[in-house]
Structure 1
Amino acid sequence: MSIQTADICDTHREKVQVAESVFKQFGKVKSFSGSIHTVKVYEDNVLVKKALQSIPEGSVLVVDGGGSRKCALLGDNLADIAVTRKLSGIVVYGCIRDSAQINEMDIGVFAIGTNPLKSNKQGKGQENIPVQFAGVNIEPGFHLYADEDGILISEDQLL
């Protein structure tokens, strides 16, 4: 199903939050939607990998990386887990690496940028908690809709 955020805004404006346009788009999948699962980490991607390995098929992983641009929280190996497990997409409020490889993969990824440096591996952070960035409040179980025009968050499943 092709997601069109502009149409969703036209029909359900009072039910959606629109994320600020701080993200770049990666991956072959240009539109996706799904139920949100969250992790909050800072320059450490152990919980990102754990979530990618465990959240349900069709879900969207939202990673609050604190907006850090000092290292990457997602690379091609983790993106491959998302593809294999048929996750809908990934949003990273932080950086990714291996962007050329991710751009050839059947996954949709939004991130604020790229950085070739890998993250720490200490396992610090929190899972399945409300997070806030890019002007939106995101809670586990909310729904995310994304395409080339941007990212929408809704408490309700709209499609």
Structure 2
Amino acid sequence: MFQNVLVVCIGNICRSPTAELLFRHRLGEGSKVTVSSAGLGAMVGHGIDRTALDLLSEHGIDGSAHRARQLDRSLIRSADLVLAMERDHVGSVTRMAPEASGKVFLLDRWLDGQGIPDPYRQSRPAFEHVYTLINNSVNSWMKYL
């Protein structure tokens, strides 16, 4: 059973906070599983991208409190499960903390395992597509949490 899940992307303002908040929403109040997110090149202190925030809001999830934070070795080590958006992210995380290699996976591992593309600075349809991929991926992990 995973107690501490960490979701990783690059900036920590689109994909990883969306996944973090979707996990928290699915797990519900009182869950013993904690979910957080961080970025490999985080836009530290920034909130969620406006389009990602709007999509979450449209699905009844408030992401306004999120602030991007930088990934570091201590975050990786304290996580039981690290879920990354792209294969390159998995590699970056395992280079940062080689001892964590057995607990780092793609978020969409149980689906097609192709990774989740970055919608940053793209149109709303790109964000909608990514939201759907993330939502389906989060759902695929729920039976393991």
**Shared fold by TM > 0.5?**
no
TM-score of the superposed pair, with normalisation by structure 1:
0.29
- TM-score normalised to structure 2 length: 0.31
